[in-house]
Amino acid sequence: MTGTIDLETLSVTKIADGLSDGTFTAEALTEASLAQVAKLNGTYKAIIFENPEALETARQIDRRRAAGERLGPLAGVPVVVKDPMDMKGFPTTAGWHLLYSKTGGTDLMPGTDSPVVARLRAADAVILGKTNVPVLSHTGTHANDSWAGPTINVVLEDRVPGGSSAGTASAVACNMCVVGLAEETGGSIQNPASAHGLVGIKPTIGLVPNAGVVPLSDNRDVVGPIARTVTDAALCLDVLAGWTAEDPKTLAGVGKVPKGGYTSSLARDALNGKRLGLYGPGWRPDVLSDETLALYERAKTELEAAGAILVADPFAGTEFAELRKPTPPTSHFDGRGLESIAYDVDCYLKRLGPDAALKSWPEFVEAVSEEDPFSEGGVLSFLPSLADFRKAMEAPLSPPEMPEFMALKASYLTLLDKVFKHHSLDALVYPQMQYELPGLHSGEVILETTVGELNIAGTPGVTVPAGYYSSGAPFELIFLGRQWTEAELIAMAFAYEQWTLHRKPAV
C-alpha cells in the first residue's frame, strides 16, 4: 500500500476504472509507483534505468482525459521494459559492462524505439524504466553478472530470480509496475515468471515483433508479457501482437489474433472438457523431484475438479524425447538455432541508425574483443560446438542456412501435430520446473521441463502460479500448445488461476 493506492491489487482494469471515476489520477499512480521503485529497487536491482519522462507522460494522460480525448488500452498503466529492447534516449546495454559507457564500454544508443516499446507508448502506458539482465541474456537463471549487479528474487531473496528477464519479473513481483516486457530465447519469460510466482506468456514466434531487440537468435527470440494475473498479461499481449514491416516474420501471425483480443475467451469454466497431456518420459526423461511430483499430483486433482480430462504421457512411444540434445559443454541447454547470432546482431546494429557508435558485426567484435563471449569460459562458449555455427561464422554478414536447426524444428512441429491429433489434445500441462529454485549464488541452474523443445519449435506457453514448495519457493504450471493457440492456452490458464487462486503477494 502506498498512500491510498494499493499497488499489490492494481490491475489494468482497476486502473482504467480508477482513472475514469476519479479515484486517482495517472500522475498520482505514477508517483506511487516511483515511490515503490525508490523504496525497493536498491534491494532488488530490478530497474537499471529510470525514465525521467514517466511523470510527464502521466500528466499528459490526465490532461487528455480531461479534454475528452480517446486514450489507449494501457492508459496510465505503469510498465517496465527489458533492457535489450531499444528505447530511444536510453543505451541498450544487454547487461554487459562493455556496452555501457559509465562502466568503460561503448553505448548503443538507438535512433528509434523498438516496435514493442513503440506499441506501449501508443497504448498510453507509462514506462517507468528498463530492467536488469545477465550479460547478453545468456542464462535463464539469474542476472548475477550484469554490470548493474544481481537482481534479487522478491519471493525468496536467497534463491535465483530466473533469467534472463530477471529484472522485469522482480519489478512486477514487488509492485513497482503492473506488467513488464520480457523476452525468451531459452526460458527467459517462463523461468523468471515462475521463479516469482507470476504469469508469463511466451508467444508463438512471429506473433510479436522482436526487431530492435538485441538478439541471441532471430529464429528463437520472442517478446512477451509478465504480469501478476492472466488477464493483465493477456491485455498486454493484445497491445504487443501484430504485423510490422520492421519484422517480416510477423507476416505469419496475420489473422492469428482472436477477434475481440486475448481476453475474449476468458471464463472460469474454460478447462471443462479439455484434454490435457501430462509430463512424462515420452516428452523428456528428466525426473521430477519428490516435492515437485507431489505438487504436480495436487495440480492434477485441481485440473480434474475444473473439468479437464488428463492424458498420461501422450508422447510415449514416439521419438520426441530423442530430438533434444544439450549443447556441450552445457548439460541442459540445446542451443540449436543460435548459430545465426553474428548475422542477427549485424542486422540489429544496422537498425540503430546512422549515429550509432557500432554499426556492424565487425565493429561489435572489435569493441568487445577483451571478453570474447564464444571463447572458453565465455558466456556463449557452447556455440562453437554447433557445426552450423562454425559455418555461419565463416561468412558472418551473410544469412546462414542452418540446415540442422531447420530439420529439427520441422521434426518437433510434425511430432507435436501428430501427438495432438492422435490423442485429441487441447494442450499440454507440465510443472514448469523439475526442482525448486536453486540458491542465488549456488552456481546451479534452473532445471525446467520445456526449454529447447518449446523454443526450437517456436510454439507458445503460458505459466501460471500453482502453489509453493515447503521452502516458500513458487511452484508453477505451464500450459503448452501448438502454434497460434495463445488464446486457448490463456483461457485455460485463467480458469486454473480463478479455480485455485494460489498466488500470494510477494511483498
List pLDDT tens digits, range 286-339.
999 999 999 999 999 999 999 999 999 999 999 999 999 999 999 999 999 999
Of 114, 146, 165, 188, the active-site residue reads: 188
Distance CA 275, CA 501 (A): 22
Q: Which of 315, 309, 313, 314 is nearest to 492 (CA)?
A: 309
381 is catalytic: no
C-beta separation of 105 from 18 below 8 A: no
pLDDT at 4: 79
pLDDT at 365: 97
Question: Tens-digit pLDDT profile for the chain (507 aa)?
Answer: 344 799 999 999 999 999 999 999 999 999 999 999 999 999 999 999 999 999 999 999 999 999 999 999 999 999 999 999 999 999 999 999 999 999 999 999 999 999 999 999 999 999 999 999 999 999 999 999 999 999 999 999 999 999 999 999 999 999 999 999 999 999 999 999 999 999 999 999 999 999 999 999 999 999 999 999 999 999 999 999 999 999 999 999 999 999 999 999 999 999 999 999 999 999 999 999 999 999 999 999 999 999 999 999 999 999 999 999 999 999 999 999 999 999 999 999 999 999 999 999 999 999 999 999 999 999 999 999 998 999 999 999 999 999 999 999 999 999 999 999 999 999 999 999 999 999 999 999 999 999 999 999 999 999 999 999 999 999 999 999 999 999 999 999 999 999 999 999 999
Of 33, 45, 82, 274, the active-site residue reads: 82
What's the DSSP call for residue 75?
Answer: T
**Residue 257 corresponds to which cell in the numbers above?**
489474433
* Domains of the chain, each with CATH number or no CATH: 12-251+260-500 (3.90.1300.10)
Q: CA angle, 44 as apex, 41 and 48 as ends, to 5°? A: 55
Total residue count of the chain as it appears in this document: 507
**Residue 50 corresponds to which cell in the numbers above?**
529510470
Residues sharing a CB contact under 8 Å with residue 350, sequence separation 6 or more, in sequence order:
359, 360
Q: CA angle, 191 as apex, 211 and 234 as ends, to 5°? A: 60
CB-based burial of residue 71 (10 Å sphere; 0-12 exposed, 13-18 middle, 19+ buried)? middle
* DSSP letter string, 233-298: HHHHHHHH-S-BTTBGGGGGGTT-SPTT-TTTT--TTTTTT-EEEEP-TTT--PPPPHHHHHHHHH
Helix (H, G, I), strand (E, B) or coil at 440: coil
pLDDT at 1: 39
β-partners of residue 130 are 49, 81
C-beta separation of 458 from 160 below 8 A: no
**Residue 190 corresponds to which cell in the numbers above?**
517462463
Distance CA 490, CA 191 (A): 17
| CA dist 233 → 149, 161, 230, 278, 490 (Å) | 27, 19, 5, 24, 9
Residues sharing a CB contact under 8 Å with residue 255, sequence separation 6 or more, in sequence order:
none
Question: Residue holding cell 522482436?
Answer: 210
Distance CA 306, CA 311 (A): 15
pLDDT at 2: 44
82 is catalytic: yes
Distance CA 399, CA 405 (A): 14
Phi, psi dihedrals of residue 465, rounded to the nearest 5°: -60, 140
Helix (H, G, I), strand (E, B) or coil at 448: strand
Of 33, 114, 137, 164, the active-site residue reads: 164
C-beta separation of 273 from 421 below 8 A: no
